[in-house]
Chains A and B, each alone.
Chain A
Amino acid sequence: MANISLQHLDKIYDNKVQAVFDFNLEVKDGEFIVLVGPSGCGKSTTLRMVAGLEDISAGRLLLDGKDITTAPAKDRDMAMVFQNYALYGHMTVYENMAFSLTLRKEDPNVIHKKVLAAAEILGLTDQLNKKPKQLSGGQRQRVAMGRAIVRNPKVFLFDEPLSNLDAKLRGATRREILLLHKRMHATMLYVTHDQTEALTLADRIVCMSMGRVQQVGTPLELYDTPANLFVASFIGLPPMNFFNVNIANGKAVNQYFSVALTEKERELLAGYEGKEVTLGVRPEDVDEGGDISVCVYSNENLGMNTLVHGRLNNAHAADAAITCKLRGWCDYKAGDTVKVQFVKRHFFDRETTNAIR
């Protein structure tokens, strides 16, 4: 059992730079939480505070109800997997995995059984006598995970573990981490800047920016109902298109298009009549048909979909750029005009940048 409670955590460095602001999160036992955000948003700092590698400037950290805010890292019963593996080059895989238990002076026979069990889970049984330099990046990362597994910690912490791997290995190792979580039902905190990792791995995602939590929710919640412009722009690939529009007479209007609002949208935007809001449309929510005119300037076929980059009404202003992910194989040439419609729309307050709900 490992419930973690992060209550009003702040991190202020000695040079007075504040990296994390009022971080609150309740992590349930066995939950897979992914902290996602751009570089420098404070996600790794938060993880390191949980691990005990950074002091907590303010707030409380509870593990199963016990206050561990000031507890040293070694007493927290958490295992961390780092981006750069942090393996001992002169030791074999077996010795690397057994090392922490050897330091604790556990019975060598017990260590042996734990290492073999972890190696079997991770598919490393045939690599146990090899040195890290003889392994691929993915295998090294699995060894790092194995070292964490043998300790049987209450919480697993992952700090961008797949960042050093190539795309193919990253996908394979990501699936292994997911299987590992399903198999062990362990509480996991995972830091990444890669939204694909976040969306595929997480039970819940914590999206961060500038040291603050922007939204906490399931991957679908973050994708479908982003809390603000930042989350909307960060989650989703290609990113969401944004347009400034005026709400008038049941329509969202700007110089490039005019779209009629649905009944639900009218209710939602009742307080914004005559005001400007930000309209967000995901590229995959743009369909062919309709009356919005897009002048194509590039066409990228992805197989099942085609990414069409263009400009609304052939305008050259920056706010006229649009990316559409159209179904099927399209062969538009630069300069072609395609008529599109927005199937699903998101609205954001211009001042607060929060989603209008």
Chain B
Amino acid sequence: MTFNNMEDPKQIRLDRMRYTKNILSSRLVYLAILFDVLYFVSVYESDVGNWYYSALIGISIVYNLVFMLVSFLSSEGVKNYKMGYGWVLGALGIGQIVRIFILPMMAHTALTKRSDPVLKKVLEVPVMEDGQFIFAVVCLVLSALCCLAAGGIALVRSRKLLAYHAALAAVK
């Protein structure tokens, strides 16, 4: 198989993968991290009594750190067409979806007492109000989509590249 007589654009694109990195997947993972950061800086509200003082918050914080670390490592992995990291990103994406039903949902359904300076009385309000909840959910969904897309693209491309390498080796 000689490369100088390659005329098919698809074939050239495939051959290019041997020398270029999977930047698209890598950038999508960075985007996923960005949405995760937006999520966790938006999730905390100061005036919610003692609702946040639980193990759940601690776990949430630790998970955020783990998510960022693993997804960053995965971005480097998928950049170099390492197939395993595609699966890792898939799992992280599913994890982001699952998270919607843990902290944001629980905070959205839980009530807390908050004094209203205008009405001058104490009201029972959701820990996470609608606007904040929607924003948090959107961030997590986008982060999940980015992870899943990055993982999916990485898997497809890695498989293609692997098959191409095998074909080249067979020709040689």
- Give residues in A with beta carbon < 8 Å to B: 92, 94-95, 108-109, 112-113, 115-117, 120, 128-129
Contact = CB atoms under 8 A, between A and B. Distances in A.
Nearest to A108: B16
Contact of A117 (B4, B12, B19): B4
Interface string B2-44: 0110100100110110111000000000000000000000000
Contacts of A117: 4
Grouping DSSP codes into helix (H, G, I), strand (E, B) and loop, the B interface class, with mixed when no group exceeds half, is loop
A314 to B, nearest CB: 67
A213 B12 CA distance: 49
A105 to B, nearest CB: 16
Given A112-B12, A112-B16, 20 more contacts: A92-B19, A95-B19, A95-B20, A108-B13, A108-B16, A108-B20, A109-B9, A109-B13, A109-B16, A112-B15, A112-B19, A113-B3, A113-B4, A113-B6, A113-B12, A116-B3, A116-B4, A128-B18, A128-B19, A129-B19
Contacts of B6: 113
19 contacts: A92-B19, A94-B19, A94-B20, A95-B19, A108-B16, A109-B12, A109-B13, A112-B12, A112-B15, A113-B4, A113-B12, A115-B19, A116-B3, A117-B4, A120-B4, A128-B18, A128-B19, A129-B18, A129-B19
B127 to A, nearest CB: 47
Nearest to B4: A117
Contacts of A108: 13, 16, 20
Nearest to B20: A94
A120 B5 CA distance: 13
Contacts of B9: 109
Interface in B97-133: none
Contacts of B16: 108-109, 112
A113 B4 CA distance: 7
Contacts of A120: 4
A108 B16 CA distance: 8
A95 B16 CA distance: 11
Contacts of B20: 94-95, 108
Nearest to A111: B16
A180 B164 CA distance: 31
Contacts of A128: 18-19
Contacts of A116: 3-4
A185 B13 CA distance: 31
A108 B17 CA distance: 11
A164 B9 CA distance: 40
B80 to A, nearest CB: 10
